[in-house]
Amino acid sequence: MTSADKTRPGRLITLEGGEGVGKSTNIAFVVEWLQQRGHEVVSTREPGGTPRAEQMRELLLDPQGSEPLDADAELLLVFAARAQHVAQKIMPALQRGALVVCDRFIDATYAYQGVGRGIETSRIAALEQWVLGDLRPDLTLLLDMSEQVARQRVLSRGAVLDRFEDQEGDFFRAVREGYLTRAHSEPQRFAVLDAALPLEDVQQHIAEVLEQRMQQWGLE
């Protein structure tokens, strides 16, 4: 069973990829594209998405303090925020038939905490089953590009780096590999897009994927 059943007729669309690949830029495009076709769209993000889950996000990203955040504590915080987000925002929206567009979701956990931090997949899968039950994204747009070029985009913003952005290059290479492995194992759900192309080309590809999926879902 996916989110597209009688009890939750909406659809869950997620955007994934490493830092700086253009998720925030393109989520706005996806939301507008869907709204122009008359759909109710709920735009959200992880970690976060509700006031309490956003507080947990702050704990996760905060680079301050001398005490390191334990990898298990990080994983559990990610899922605590997700439990709150799913219960308070995502499920109610899917139940009333909305299209939920989420900047990062479960695949980020497998890529960052799993491949990046080295936590066993079986432990993540157990938490996934507990927190999500049978809820999975209906479509995942994976924005993929070289981690070095993406890093330049992030650094050129000039903002203070958060706990994740402050990692070494190897971490981001591992995260990228983690995402690509998941995409290859679920080609029906994932659309992998070349995020290094000019923005208008990336968005044209996104529009083509959305067009095809909306037809497939009978929502055009």
Nearer to ligand Z5A, 59 or 154 (CB): 154
The span of 65-73, 104-112, 123-131, 207-215 binding ligand Z5A (CB under 6 A) equals: 104-112
Asked, as a colleague might, if the bond just before 187 is cis with ω within 30 of 0, I would say no
Q: What mask, x for binding ligand Z5A by CB under 6 A, covers residues 191 to 210? A: -------xx--x--------
Two tokens, residue 95: 């139940």
CB of 132 to ligand Z5A, least distance (A): 12
**In this structure, is the dihedral angle defined by the CA atoms of residues 1, 30, 189 and 153, taken in order, positive or negative?**
negative
Nearby residues of 73 by Cβ (< 8 Å), 6 or more positions away: none
CA 32 to chain centre: 18
Q: Are 102 and 44 in contact (CB under 8 A)?
A: yes
Q: What mask, x for binding ligand Z5A by CB under 6 A, covers residues 42 to 81? A: ----xx------------------------------x---
Counting contacts by CB under 6 A, is residue 86 touching ligand Z5A? no
Two tokens, residue 143: 């924005």
Catalog residues that contact ligand Z5A under the rule CB under 6 A: 17, 19-25, 46-47, 78, 103-104, 108-109, 112-113, 153-154, 157, 164-165, 198-199, 202
